[in-house]
Amino acid sequence: MANTTSTAPSVTVDSTSAGATVIVDSVIAKVTGIAAREVPGVFALGGGAARALGAIRDAMNNTDLTQGISVEVGETQVAVEITIVVEYPLPLQVVANDVRAAIYRAITDLVGMEVTEVKVTITDVHIPSQDDVVETVTETRVR
C-alpha cells in the first residue's frame, strides 16, 4: 500500500474546464482515521510501535490521525489497510465490520471515491486495568 506521508498529489476527483480538484493520499488516510476513531469499541489505531510513538505525540498535543492506516489510491478508487485495538469485551468481528462500514461511508461521502477494499487488522484487545478503576472511583468520591 502507498505510504500515507507522501505529499505528491495523486487523486484527481473532479476535472472541469475551470480546473481540477486534487486530493492527496494523506487526506484520505486522515478521513479514514477520523471515521475509524468514531466507531464504538475502537480503543486505538496502529500496532505496538506506532501506538508507542502515538503516545508521545499525544503527550505533545500532536495526535497523528493517520496512525496505523495505509491507503492505496488510484484515479477513482481507494483500498485501505487499517490496524486497530479493540476494547474488551466487545465482539471483535462486530467492531471490525463497523470500522469497515464507517470507512466505506466516509470515503464515499466525503472524498467521492469508490472503496474497493478495507482490510482491518486487530492487533490487540484493551482490557481496563486496575489503575483505570481506581482513578474512576477516586474521581467520583471527590466533589
d(CA 32, CA 30): 5
Query: Cα Rg for the chain, rounded, in angstroms?
Result: 18
Give the predicted TM-score (pTM) of the model: 0.77
The DSSP bridge pattern shows strands 19-24 and 42-45 to be unpaired
Question: Treating both helix axes as pointing N-terminal to C-terminal, what angle do 25-37 and 92-106 enclose, rounded to 10 degrees?
Answer: 140
pLDDT per residue rounded down to tens, the chain (143 residues): 444 444 455 665 666 678 888 889 999 999 999 999 999 999 999 886 655 555 665 666 667 788 899 999 998 899 999 999 999 999 999 999 999 999 999 999 999 999 999 999 999 999 988 556 555 555 665 55
Domains of the chain, residue spans: 9-141
Superfamily of domain 9-141, CATH level 4: Cation efflux protein, cytoplasmic domain (3.30.70.1350)
